[in-house]
Structure 1
Amino acid sequence: MKSLQGHTARKRFGQNFLHDAHIIRQIVDAISPKNTDHIVEIGPGLGAITEYLTIDAARLDVIEIDRDLIPRLQEKFGMNSQFQIHESDALKFNFAKLLDKSNNPASSQLRIVGNLPYNISTPLLFHLFSFPGLIEDMHFMLQKEVVERMAAPAGSPDYGRLSIMAQYHSKVDMLFTVPPGAFNPAPKVDSAIVRLQPYKQPKIIAKNVKHFEKLVTQAFTQRRKTIRNSLKTMANTEQLEHAGISPELRPEVITLTQYVTLSNLLQQNNSN
C-alpha cells in the first residue's frame, strides 16, 4: 500500500485517503457545516475533511479505529476545545452517548459524515438507522454502486433490501461521483457522495421494524423467484393478495409501501 504523509494505508481498515482539494471542497460545501452543528466524522483518516469541519462546527467528535492515526489527529486538531477523538469501531459505537453531556452548545441532533470503508458501509448504515431521532442528516462517501442501490426505485435492477431499508428510514440523494484518482491509494471503483436525511416519522410506519427487515431480507434471498416462493415460509397467497401484491411478481418490482403493508398485515394476523 502507498504511503501518504508518512502513514501507510491499511487494507484491513479499507483505507483510501482523499487528497483532491477540489473534491474535498465539494464535500464540505455539500455538508455546509454551521456554528450550531454537532458533527460526528467517521474515519477521519489524515484529517482532509476534518480540517474544514473544525473551523465551523460547534462540536466535532471523530471516530477512528486505526490507533496509529490517533496521535496525528490529536496533534493536528487537539488544541480545538470543541474537538474530541474516540478510538473505536464505528460498527459498535453508541452514538447516543454523544448527546448525554450537559451544557452542550451544539444542536440536539447529530450530523454524521464520513469516507466509509466499502467493506463496512452497509452494516454501518443499518447500525446508524437504529438510532431514530438522533441524527439530523448523514453525508457519506461510498462506492458508487452502493449509492445507486440505496437510491434505486422499485423495478430497477439495483433495487433491493438496501434500497427499501434506506428509503424507509430516510430521504436518499446521490449528490455527485468521485473518481478513483481523488484517493491515495486509488480504489478500483468510482465513489459517490450521498446525503441521507432521516425522517422524523417514516411515510408509512411498520408496526414492527424488525419483522419488516426480516420480511424484506427473506424476499431478496432469491430475487429471481416469485414473491410467493420467496416468502412461502412467511406469507401465503391470500395474505399477499390482501396486501395488494400479486403472488407472481418478483421481489424487485414490489414497492416499499407494499412491503410495509404486508408486514403490518402479518403482524396483525399474528396478534389476533
Structure 2
Amino acid sequence: MEKVKPKKHLGQHFLTDLGIAEKIAKAVTGHQDVRKVLEIGPGMGVLTDFLLKENWDLYLVDIDSESIQYLHQKYSDLGDKIIEADYLKKDFGPIMGGSYAVAGNFPYNISSQIFFKILEERNSVTEVVCMLQKEVAQRIASPKGNKDYGILSVLLQAYYEIEYLFTVPPGVFNPPPKVNSGVIRLKRNKVRQLECDEKLFFRVVKQGFNTRRKTLRNALKPLGLSDKLKEDAILDKRAEQLDVQEFVILTKKLQESWNQ
C-alpha cells in the first residue's frame, strides 16, 4: 500500500510516534460503559492500530478519499465502519446507534468546530480523547480567572469533566506543525439539562466573551438588560471571572428580568 501524503488544505499532520499513539489509545476509558468509539481523521491508522488493540467497537471517519482507500485496504474487516464523510456535516446518531466515545488527532483548523458539534451531540458522546493545538487544549481545560478561559471552556465544562493529559512536541508528526499539541480527555458529567434555558445560556456565554475585557454590564447590553438587572453585582465582573454555575445564575436572572 502506498503511503498517504498529508494534505495542507485538510490540516493533516500525521502522527509518527507509536508510543504517543498508544498513550492516547489507552487514555480512552469506556466512560459510562460505552464500547463504541468513533475516530475522527485516522489518516493512515497510527492511532487506529492501538484503538483496535484495546478491543473497542471502532468506527472511522475521514474526509480524505485517499486515506479512506488506504484504510479499506489496511482494515478490510471494518467494512462499512470506515466512513468517507465530513464529520462536521454528517449525522452520526443513526450510524452509532446510541452512546459512543470520540477519539482522534483533530485537524487544527477545525478543532473548535468539532467541539461545537460534540456539544450538539452531548447526550450521545460520553467521552472524548483527542490531540489538538496545545493552546486550544489548554483553553478547553482552563478554570475561570485564567486568560485562556473562554467560550469553549464554559460550554464544554457545563457538560463534561475535562483533564489536560500531556503535551506533544512538533517533531513526532509528518509534516511537523509549527506549535506544540496537547492531549485532553472529556468525560460526560451527570448534567442532562442545565437549570436555565440552555439556548439562552449559550447566547449569554458567547456574548459575554465577545468583548471579554468589558464588564458583563457592557458586554451583555445587546441582550437587553432591565434597569433592575443593571444594578446586580454579578454584572460588575468580566466573563472570565464566572464559572459554569455563575453563568447559569446570570442566565436565569436575565430570563426572569425579561418576564417581569
TM-score, scaled to structure 1:
0.87
Name the SS of the counterpart of 1:173 in structure 2: strand
1:21-73 alpha-carbon deviations (Å, 9 max, x no partner): 11112112212579971111000000001112223335211110001111110
1:207 aligns with 2:204: no
Letter of the structure 2 residue corresponding to residue 40 of structure 1: L
Q: Do the aligned residues in 2 keep the contact of 1:115 with 1:142 (CA within 8 Å)?
A: yes
Match of 2:107 in 1: 117
Q: Do the aligned residues in 1 keep the contact of 2:40 with 2:87 (CA within 8 Å)?
A: yes
1:138-176 alpha-carbon deviations (Å, 9 max, x no partner): 101011101111111111111111111111121110001
Q: Do the aligned residues in 2 keep the contact of 1:38 with 1:110 (CA within 8 Å)?
A: yes
Distance, in Å, in 2 between the alignment partners of 1:184 and 1:191 is 13
1:232 to 216, 221, 227: 221
1:55 aligns with 2:53: yes
Match of 2:236 in 1: 248
Unaligned runs of 5+ in 1: 101-107
1:31 aligns with 2:28: yes
Between Structure 1 and Structure 2, the one with more helix by share is: 2
Distance, in Å, in 2 between the alignment partners of 1:233 and 1:109 is 38
Letter of the structure 2 residue corresponding to residue 262 of structure 1: L
Identical-pair percentage: 35
Distance, in Å, in 2 between the alignment partners of 1:62 and 1:80 is 9
Match of 1:167 in 2: 157
Considering only aligned residues, what root-mean-square deviation do their CA atoms show, in Å?
A: 2.3
Match of 1:84 in 2: 81
1:204-252 alpha-carbon deviations (Å, 9 max, x no partner): 824222211111111111111121111112234632555x51x332221
Match of 1:7 in 2: 4
Match of 2:90 in 1: 93
Letter of the structure 1 residue corresponding to residue 62 of structure 2: E
Match of 1:267 in 2: 255
Distance, in Å, in 2 between the alignment partners of 1:207 and 1:36 is 29
Letter of the structure 2 residue corresponding to residue 65 of structure 1: I
Distance, in Å, in 2 between the alignment partners of 1:227 and 1:167 is 20
Aligned length: 258
Name the SS of the counterpart of 2:222 in structure 1: coil
Match of 2:141 in 1: 151
TM-score, scaled to structure 2:
0.91
Name the SS of the counterpart of 1:49 in structure 2: helix
Distance, in Å, in 2 between the alignment partners of 1:159 and 1:36 is 30
Q: Is the alpha carbon distance of 1:12 and 1:58 closer, same or farther for their aligned partners in structure 2, counting shifts above 3 Å?
A: same
Q: Do the aligned residues in 2 keep the contact of 1:206 with 1:212 (CA within 8 Å)?
A: no
Name the SS of the counterpart of 1:132 in structure 2: coil
1:223 to 198, 212, 220: 212
Letter of the structure 2 residue corresponding to residue 164 of structure 1: V
Distance, in Å, in 2 between the alignment partners of 1:252 and 1:54 is 40
Distance, in Å, in 2 between the alignment partners of 1:255 and 1:77 is 44
Unaligned runs of 5+ in 2: none
Name the SS of the counterpart of 2:144 in structure 1: coil
